[in-house]
Amino acid sequence: MTRRCAGLATLAGAAVFGACALLPPGAWAAAPAATAGLPWWAWPLLLFGVSFLIGIIAVAAGIGGGVLFVPIVGSLFPFHLDFIRGAGLMLALCGALSAGPRLLRQGLAELRVVIPLSLAGSAASMAGAHMGLLLPTHMLHASLGIIVLVIAIVMWASREGDTAPRDPPDALAVAFGMGGLYRDPASGSEVPWQARHVAAGVATFAVIGFVGGMFGLGAGWANVPALNLLMGLPLKLALGTSTLSISAINTSAAWVYLNQGALLPIMHVPAILGVIAGARVGVRLLKVLSAESARWLVIGVLFIAGARALLQGLTS
């Protein structure tokens, strides 16, 4: 029964996103009659519902919700992209802050790795946020579309590894003490790890931070491959460390959006609540939905949302 419910919920999510994909780009946003036809309170409820679905799929696929939230809400809702990006950042920030303490206590996130990476990331995300708020709307839509399509391709192409690092210890990694032992809570086994390519990691996080700040996207889609494949952290430690780094990197960009007045409580509060509630359901779905299926669902949604955003930018 649970399996059937989970399957139905997943199908419903896919159907909603699929149906939305069939709408012409900006269908709701470009139709004032549609906006006027609904009472104001219907919009936060709709936003809650969409965020709920995003939360389910994001957890099942092991990514943050921000990367789905901005392109989907941007192409389906009447809100300006400035406010959607602000809400996307708040969403990612709240998720990271909520998970951070537990990850640290369980040894599934390493602050020694987060600190140098997030210095570069947060300076870049601040610059990205300023840049993003200066761009004209059609250019933002088009570049968001391109970025989201690139993310979909990266997710499609990347395969995380979980092997012990083979390269010799990195001098910077040794200097910062980026190595040790973490206990896998699932197997109970202790996994030795040693970071490598720290300078390349810092540069990568600067690029990721800039893109994240500019488009209000969470950064898990890029952080995890960077930490796991480039820097050699075990996959689970990379997942936790990525989440913790988002809490530091997104803080700078979120302050910029707050200072520019690019936050609407009617948006970010339902979005935060929806994703948190969806994530709880998503955790249960993990038992019956394979991560691979969820990953393909996310890639499909990103392709559709990215194409719609690109089309929206090119036609407006």
Partner 1 sequence: MKTGEESAPRAAASGWQAIYARWMQAGVWVGLAAILASFAVYVTGLLPANIPPAELPSVWSLPTAEYIARTGAPSGWEWIHRLYQGDVLNFAGVALLCSVTIACSVRIVVPLLRARERALALIVVLQVVVMLVAASGWLR
Residue type, 21: A
Helix axis angle for 81-105 and 198-215, nearest 10°, is 140
Residues of this chain, 229-288, that bind partner 1 according to CB under 8 A: 247-248, 251-256, 258-269, 272
Beta carbon nearer to partner 1, 79 or 210: 79
User: Can you tell me the distance from the alpha carbon of 233 to that of 241, in angstroms, rounded to the nearest whole number?
Assistant: 9
* Choices 60-68, 82-90, 154-162, 293-301; region in contact with partner 1 by CB under 8 A: 82-90
Q: Which two tokens stand for residue 145?
A: 């579309």
Q: How far is the CB of 256 from partner 1 (least distance, A)?
A: 6
Residue type, 135: L
Q: Check binding of 79 to partner 1 (CB under 8 A).
A: yes
Residue with tokens 């040790």: 180
Q: How far is the CB of 258 from partner 1 (least distance, A)?
A: 6
Beta carbon nearer to partner 1, 28 or 303: 28
Q: How far is the CB of 12 from partner 1 (least distance, A)?
A: 27
Beta carbon nearer to partner 1, 1 or 41: 41
Q: How far is the CB of 222 from partner 1 (least distance, A)?
A: 20
Beta carbon nearer to partner 1, 160 or 184: 184
Among 16, 27, 97, 277, binds partner 1 (CB under 8 A): 97
Residues of this chain, 159-218, that bind partner 1 according to CB under 8 A: 169, 173-181, 183, 190, 192, 194
Phi, psi of 251 (to 5 degrees): -60, -45
* Binding letters toward partner 1, positions 98-137, x by CB under 8 A: x-xx--xxxx---xx--xx-xx--xx--x--xx--x---x
Torsion of CA 311, 77, 69, 140, to 10 degrees: 40
Q: How far is the CB of 107 from partner 1 (least distance, A)?
A: 3
The count of residues interacting with partner 1 (CB under 8 A) is: 71
Phi, psi of 134 (to 5 degrees): -95, -20
Q: Check binding of 41 to partner 1 (CB under 8 A).
A: yes
Residues of this chain, 43-62, that bind partner 1 according to CB under 8 A: 43
Beta carbon nearer to partner 1, 122 or 228: 122
Q: Which two tokens stand for residue 126?
A: 């601040």
Q: How far is the CB of 176 from partner 1 (least distance, A)?
A: 6
